[in-house]
Amino acid sequence: MLLISPRTRISVLALLLVSLLAPHYLAAAQQPSRAVSSSTRPRLVLLIVADQFRYDYLERFGDLFGEKGLKRLMREGASWIETNYDHFPTYTAPGHATLLTGAYPAANGIVGNDWPDRDTGKKVSSVSDETSLVLGGSQADTGASPRRLLASTLGDELRLSTNDRSKVIGISLKDRAAILPAGRHANAAYWYSPHAGSMVSSDYYFKELPAWVAKFNAQRPADKFFKAKWERLLPQEEYQKRAGADSPPWEDIGKVAGDTNSFPHTITGGAAEPGPAFYNEVQFSPFGNEIELSFAKQTIEAEGLGRDEDPDVLSISFDANDYVGHRYGPYSQEVMDITLRFDQQIAELLDFVDSRIGLGNTIVVFTADHGVAPIPKQVLASGLAGGRADYAEIQRRVRAAISARYNPQAKSPDPTADYFFRYDDAGTTTDAIINNNIYFNLEALKRDRVEVEDIERVAGEAALTVAGVARYFTRGQLLRGGALASATGSSVDSVARRVQHGFFARRSGNVILVMEPYTYSSNAVNATHGSPYSYDTHVPLIIRGSGIAGGRYFQPATPADIAPTLAAILRIQAPSSVTGRILLEALGGKE
């Protein structure tokens, strides 16, 4: 009989135990998504998007937040402090399309809010659809659907995996912000009609509005805010300390009917009674978000979201933040106030979800679709480089360079006159320079045997001679992946990479221009976004829910990471064109 000492016996048992448990721990390490098992999947995925919300708002105003809104998400959830969009341009439609496809415009096809369509010769929007009808609006509302979105979303994949038992719904003031995150196989998307003051949808989803939506609209949800006064939430001194004067010289909003650029703001749109002017103006106040919040709560109740074992998805994009940011700029008292009020609205939403579904049964994601640049006049007053680029001058110099290159004898009429692609924009024919893209008439170039890549270089070099233009990229270069090639050296060229990620051959132009930091062209708004720079790309990302390891994470992330991470938690197929990563660092809880 073999005698084994007590010490040896313990060692053998320890080795046996390790050998038995090692595969389990190895599998757990390799599959962090086991933190949420199939039996404990969330009943609701709630995506909250603040349209135009820079990351630094969390730092600048965070100590003023209440305990049950954004502060609760930051306290209880996982927060990535270095989350940046990795595409250009940073507009509403590309941002919202990225969120739940997990893909850049290069894969999902949403290259801007609008672009010229070469097939029809018309300007189209990311969701415009002449074959669809708006339900619940007015004759001024135009058809919309997700048909231009070319990648599946998290919701699409979830409904496929549950044989359509799961519900997927998108809500926003803007049609594109409601439609694109929900996807092509969603149950519904609802947005606000500034013509009718009601929540509307499309016959893409159903032939008539659900009865509960019609009932909501019958209560005239916007009308109760007519003549409402938007006052500061806190004492004026707090705003002066954080945001400066209420009416600085650069905060020139021009002629806004019935309002000024100073508190308090009385919301009428210059109208004597509720109507289209007022319905549009209410979006430029926290009351626009109030309409969305009320509708979101009604949606959860009426649709029974989160009430069974099949997970549902609700995407809500709060757009009043964007309207206010464009008008007053990111360093204004108005942006500070709407951010504080937004925090209160999020608290109300989370309390409602907790009472109906339970936050323990919900995965909450908070992020934004883009940031925003300061008002150019403020940039210059602060001693920074920037301003407004003269796009008319860019067009003039590009035309002159093309004429000099391809009409050296100055023949009249100039054979290069139709080299620009021209498109119909609501009845007005214009040269296609949009989203910092220059589009050429490929048929005209073929007719005159003009080498496309040659004219692209001519146009790009001419544009560089205009103040404010920093760089250009050509279609030929991007088709070869040239921008990514230039970004693979020891010094990563994030601008080139973001341009490449934003390029989709069938919809993008021939020359893509990048302005210098704090430089843009729009004279229609005080402040705007769209650049590849940090003030436009850097946004919050917070995920809260069962199985999510809370805390602040310093690993770089992008909003494209949301979809694959949620797919791992839901244990479903990731969206078709996903390029983001699973945020493994936050999926380390117990099963």
The residues carrying an active-site annotation are 92
Q: How far does the chain reach from its first CA to its final CA, in angstroms?
A: 44
Backbone angles phi, psi at 571, to 5 degrees: 60, 50
The full length of the chain comes to: 591
Please enumerate, as own/partner, the contacts of 346-350 that have beta carbons within 8 Å and a separation of 24 or more.
Answer: 346/48, 346/69, 346/70, 346/73, 347/66, 347/68, 347/69, 347/72, 348/293, 349/48, 349/293, 349/296, 349/297, 349/316, 350/68, 350/69, 350/72, 350/73
178 close to 172: Cβ distance less than 8 angstroms: yes
- SS3 for 120-174 is CCEEEECCECCCCCEECCCCCCCCECCCCCCCCCHHHHHHHHCCCCCCEEEEECC
Q: In sequence order, what are the beta bridge partners of 200?
A: 191
Give the number of other Cβ atoms within 10 Å of residue 161's Cβ. Answer: 17
Q: Give me the DSSP letters along 421-464.
A: -EEEETTEEEE-EETTEE-B-HHHHHHTT--HHHHHHHHHHHHT
Continuous segment of H or E residues that includes residue 117: strand 114-117
Structure tokens at 524: 């229609």
126 close to 148: Cβ distance less than 8 angstroms: yes
Structure tokens at 485: 């090639």
- Picking from 347, 320, 331, 382, the residue whose alpha carbon sits closest to that of residue 57 is 331
**CA quadruple 170, 560, 54, 358: dihedral sign:** positive
Q: Which residues contact 383 (CB under 8 A, 6 or more apart)?
A: none
218 close to 149: Cβ distance less than 8 angstroms: no
Q: Which residues contact 218 (CB under 8 A, 6 or more apart)?
A: none
Using the CB atoms, write b or e for 466-498: b if 16+ within 10 Å: bebbebbbbbebbeeeebeebbeeeeebbbbbb
Give the span between the Cα atoms of 482 and 405, in whole angstroms.
Answer: 25
Backbone angles phi, psi at 559, to 5 degrees: -60, -20
Helix ranges (H only) for 162-308 are 175-182, 211-218, 236-243, 276-281, 286-303
HSE-up of 327 (CA within 13 Å, CB side)? 24
User: Do strands 437-438 and 433-434 pair parallel, antiparallel, or not at all (unpaired)?
Assistant: antiparallel
In angstroms and rounded to an integer, the radius of gyration of the C-alpha atoms of the chain is: 26
Q: Give me the DSSP letters along 5-64.
A: -HHHHHHHHHHHHHHHHHHHHHHHHH-GGGGS-GGG--SEEEEEEESS--THHHHHHGGG
